[in-house]
Amino acid sequence: MKLKIWGCRGSVPSWLPPEQVKKFGNRTTCYEIIEGNERIIIDAGTGIIPLGNEIMKQDKLETIICLSHLHWDHIQGLPFFVPLYVQGFQFRVYGRVKWDKTLEEILQGQMSHWHFPISLKEVSARGAEIKYIDFYPGGDLHCDLNNLRVHTLELNHPGGCIGYKITSVKTRKTIVILTDNEHRETLGVELEGFLDKANIILWDGQYTTIEEHKAILYKYKHGWGHSTGEFALRKIREKIQEQHPLEKLIITHHDPSSVDEILLDLEETLKEVRELISRDWKDVKEVIFARDNMEVEI
């Protein structure tokens, strides 16, 4: 199973000069997971734009798009996702049932004529075949893939958000993507169960508890729907069983104001904390901050 990170910023694409964000990138949320002839795209932030350009050059894979929620940073790349405009492509788009509108109606909203020159209906009439599937988070997604299983969980975020757990049928390896999610005092029973035996966890660490980084201090951002890498490392490692160490904890959904220098500092600090608190058998083998174009094979 291959994971590629196409976008790992939260809120908006970073407005900072390219030389200040060249290590981590500036695209908003988008992750790609491939196993065999199947692909899952989690979220459609601006990272889905270069992914779309790549898909145009490749053989067509069975592709589903799973949206964590419909805040701008998770859908704003969709109108610029080139394969949508090309006949022959087929996509299933999954998102929550929650409001008085369907997933399709909400996505049409961001391409209504006030906001965009071409409507989603026109795109569907001339381009790819797109199906929209509204679901209630919790349990198996029932997405009819042969190589990958998908489970979902409700997260703690204003307006709601869905966490995705993706498991390879062949290898039983598991990747969990949790963005956007504000931590509570503990992980809680449901999240602990969801993270059990995960090989890779992507965790929303937009904020920090390190006092010198005032602009992104968690204590000023309670209720904004995001977490810290420090909380993830401390709480997740407490729950890891010796026979199932976590291979990678990947901190993601970086604040758009965080330049490379800040993210490198936060990453280094977290690595030092891991060295200090991890037991000999290395419960969390590696802590790393997400970067655009990062690839992980498990």
Interface residues toward Zn ion, by CB under 5 A: 10, 71, 73, 180
Question: Between 180 and 230, whose beta carbon lies closer to Zn ion?
Answer: 180
Long-range contacts of 169-172 (CB under 8 A, 24+ apart): 169/35, 170/35, 170/36, 171/1, 171/298
Report in angstroms how near the CB of residue 164 gets to Zn ion at its nearest.
Answer: 14
Report the SS3 class of residue 63: strand
Report in angstroms how near the CB of residue 68 gets to Zn ion at its nearest.
Answer: 8
Report in angstroms how near the CB of residue 178 gets to Zn ion at its nearest.
Answer: 12
CB-based contacts of 152: which residues, under 8 Å, 6+ apart? Answer: 135, 137, 138, 139, 141, 162, 163, 164, 165
Report in angstroms how near the CB of residue 138 gets to Zn ion at its nearest.
Answer: 19
Question: Between 180 and 292, whose beta carbon lies closer to Zn ion?
Answer: 180
CA distance 235 to 201: 13
Question: Between 74 and 235, whose beta carbon lies closer to Zn ion?
Answer: 74
Question: Between 7 and 79, whose beta carbon lies closer to Zn ion?
Answer: 7
- The sign of the torsion formed by the CA atoms of 40, 169, 141, 61 equals positive
Angle at the Cα of 71 from the Cα atoms of 69 and 72, rounded to 5 degrees: 135
Report in angstroms how near the CB of residue 43 gets to Zn ion at its nearest.
Answer: 8
> Taking CB positions, which residue lies at the least distance from Zn ion?
71
Question: Between 152 and 168, whose beta carbon lies closer to Zn ion?
Answer: 152
Task: Give the pairing of strands 248-252 and 200-204.
Answer: parallel
